[in-house]
A and B are shown apart, each in its own frame.
Chain A
Amino acid sequence: MSAARRLAAALIAGLLFGLGLSLSGMLDPARVRGFLDIAGAWDPTLAFVLGGAVSVAGLGYALARRLPRPAFDAGFDLPPRARIDGPLLAGAALFGIGWGLSGFCPGPAMAALSTGALPVFVFVGAMLLGMAAHGWFARRFEPPKPRGDRANVPSARVQLR
């Protein structure tokens, strides 16, 4: 039954995420780009969205730190790497350029697929190609790195920070 619960939890969490994006105005590329436009007519809405999201998520994570495991699974699945390295910064830099050009990041773009608008499909199609290109690049040039799989987590009690 746990598998069904995990599936339902993921569906509900995804729906809340999509509702939050819709309510907050973050599906609107012009509003998102307005936040990045500090030299122009700056729109601070995104700061309120991020502030609200980080506050509530922070409370949830603080609670998770006190729990031995999540409600429906054996352990917390967290990224093992903690170093600030070149790929992290280079990847974030490239992402920021694409975000500034389009006003889209992955969450709003995926959610906006349901609006059926052509520009969203063009962006998401290209984003999936970019992800596939990275998969090819990583297999070819990078040494295999540990993934955040459960197999790599020695104990169910993993620190959340």
Chain B
Amino acid sequence: MTTYLSGLIGGGLIGLSVALLMLLNGRIAGISGLVAGLGRDRGERWWTDAAFVGGLIAGPPVFAALAGAWPDMRFVASLPVLGVAGLLVGFGTRLGSGCTSGHGVAGLARLSPRSLAAVLMFLTTGMLTVAIVRGFA
């Protein structure tokens, strides 16, 4: 029960982040797009995107300082599988123009049919993948 409550409040913080980046800077908080932009953009855009990503990376240690413990992490895949998964996530999020944040949070919040289609697609292939991997495990 507390897990669901933490999820809801943590989700609210994520939503606040997405709302603030739009209301203050006019930008969509899509992590895959921001990270990819760091390899391409120059000038002020690079610095603001780097500031967002820097803040994101600072999140867990700041949380640890406030909560007294680091967030739980239990890895579910071997290093080679993580390598393959990373390639798929990197290539797929660029080809599909977004990930769980850009399509999942920002896109659904602006009621974008494109983002809804993307979310339904990645949820479907994600669930199928887990079902298949479990079948072999």
Q: Which residues of A contact B (CB under 8 A)?
A: 3, 5-31, 33, 36-40, 44-46, 48-61, 63-64, 67, 69-79, 81-84, 87-107, 109-115, 117-119, 122-135, 137-138, 160-161
Contact = CB atoms under 8 A, between A and B. Distances in A.
B55 A101 contact: no
A27 to B, nearest CB: 5
A141 to B, nearest CB: 11
Contact of B84 (A16, A106, A126): A126
B35 to A, nearest CB: 6
A161 B118 CA distance: 16
B26 A70 contact: yes
Contacts of B61: 114
Interface string B25-51: 111110110011001100010011101
A12 B85 CA distance: 30
B25 A130 contact: no
Contact of A131 (B24, B94, B97, B121): B94
Contact of B91 (A52, A67, A133): A133
A60 B35 CA distance: 23
Given A77-B28, A130-B92, A103 B39 contact: no
Interface in B80-98: 81-97
Given A6-B44, A23-B13, A64-B23, A91 B110 contact: no
Given A102-B89, A125-B86, A112 B15 contact: no
B59 A106 contact: no
A37 B93 CA distance: 21
Nearest 5 Cβ contacts at the A-B interface: A18-B59, A60-B19, A130-B90, A91-B96, A14-B55
Contacts of B110: 58, 61, 160-161
Given A39-B134, A91-B97, A96 B48 contact: no
Given A14-B56, A77-B27, A124-B86, A92 B7 contact: no
Contact of B10 (A11, A20, A97, A123): A20
A100 B108 CA distance: 21
Interface in B95-109: 95-97, 99-101, 103-106, 108-109
Contacts of B55: 10-18
Nearest to B116: A84
Contacts of B57: 14, 18, 110-111, 113-114
